[in-house]
Amino acid sequence: MKRFRFQSLEDLPETLRGSVVAIGNFDGVHRGHQSVLNTALGFARDHDCPALVLTFEPHPRRLFQPDLALFRITPAPMKADLLQAMGFDGVIELPFTRDFANQTADEFVDRVLVGGLGARQVVAGFDFHFGKNRQGGPAFLMQAGKTRGFHVTLVDAFRDSAAEVISSSRIRDRLHAGDLAAANDMLGYRYRVEATVTRGKQLGRTLGFPTANMKLDDNAALAHGIYAVRFIRADGTIHDGVASFGRRPTVDEDGVALLETFLFNFSADLYGETCTVAVCGFLRGEEKFETLDALTEQMRKDEAEARAMLAGLAPLGDLDANLTFGAETG
């Protein structure tokens, strides 16, 4: 398989130099980001040349605000998967170190855009800043392109139907509040998480609802509750299911938050497999029940509601069609 992710400019093959380059953090690869990214892809098609994404790892906030908990909507591997699904030829994840942050704007242009990438065209958001103390801005980048021989296109903020700018922060807030529909609408695809399936206490199995258990990042801001989901295995096959994310208050007084997915019409062993869960619909918040019988009865209702919701599921766009509907659904 052709390599897609690169962590240094030296690793970039000669065939990917001279590309159209989209620059940004792109956490979430949401509809606002997609307007920048699709602009870059369009130019690459027009020029019959590769399209690359230049991004930075870890997220710059980790360097400047190390004590601040940061919920990444799309960790680096997932972000790369989304960019590949959109049609890019590669992503460069440059290490965002103190030395890198201390580069002047001119050094960034000369070392990265010209010397490292040989960029043919640079596409960025209208508010993109770079270099020490954010000294490089849109006007600087436009002038640098003129003097150093690459074209620059700046894309305006993308707004939703209420004329509000779509941002990663808004999406994080909506996920935390349990407003999954709004979050997914801003993303342009169903919110996804990826983790390895681990062995749990097997309680779901005894209740007739065996689950695939996944430990999410401690900073995950998804609201605790019950969701209709699509479960995507490592081989790409997709299975509908219903998932609980939370601490299981009925059976565990102080449990670790887990995502527990009951897959419909499925019985294979998933332990140790890294899988993706597309979170399609919010059913209800997490509750504590007086008895296991009451919990089981509610789980049956959740299953029926999730089945009905998923039966009528439609893609939010081309990217969602690729990601959430792209393989045979079980």
pLDDT at 252 over 70: no
Task: Evaluate whether residue 50 is within a structural domain.
Answer: yes
Q: Are residues 252 and 184 in the same domain?
A: yes
Query: CA–CA separation, 47 vs 45, rounded Å?
Result: 5
227: helix, strand or coil: strand
Question: In 3D, which of 199, 185, 250, 260 has the Cα closest to residue 229?
Answer: 260
Task: Quickly state the pLDDT bin for 257 (edges 50, 70, 90).
Answer: confident
Task: Evaluate whether residue 87 is within a structural domain.
Answer: yes
pLDDT of residue 253: 60
Non-local CB neighbours of 17 within 8 Å, separated by 6+ positions: 117, 118
Q: Which domain holds residue 44?
A: 5-155
pLDDT at 147 over 80: yes
Q: Are residues 198 and 63 in the same domain?
A: no
Q: Are residues 226 and 287 in the same domain?
A: yes
pLDDT of residue 268: 84
Q: Are residues 79 and 132 in the same domain?
A: yes
Q: Are residues 187 and 303 in the same domain?
A: yes
Task: Quickly state the pLDDT bin for 329 (edges 50, 70, 90).
Answer: very low
pLDDT of residue 327: 46
Question: In 3D, which of 121, 117, 114 has the Cα closest to residue 11?
Answer: 117
pLDDT per residue as tens digits for the range 49-86 = 999 999 999 888 887 888 777 889 999 999 999 999 99
CB-count exposure of residue 106 (10 Å: 0-12, 13-18, 19+): middle
pLDDT of residue 201: 66
Q: Are residues 136 and 230 in the same domain?
A: no
pLDDT at 302 over 80: yes
pLDDT of residue 188: 97
| DSSP-assigned letter for residue 277 | E
Mean pLDDT of the chain: 91
Task: Evaluate whether residue 169 is within a structural domain.
Answer: no
- What's the average model confidence in pLDDT over 30-39? 97
Q: Out of 22-26, 62-66, 123-127, 306-310, pick the least confident.
A: 62-66
Instruction: Quote the number of domains for the chain.
Output: 2
Q: Are residues 198 and 150 in the same domain?
A: no
Query: What CATH number has the domain bearing residue 316?
Result: 2.40.30.30
Q: Are residues 131 and 189 in the same domain?
A: no
pLDDT per residue as tens digits for the range 175-234 = 999 999 999 999 999 999 999 999 876 555 555 578 899 999 888 889 999 999 999 999
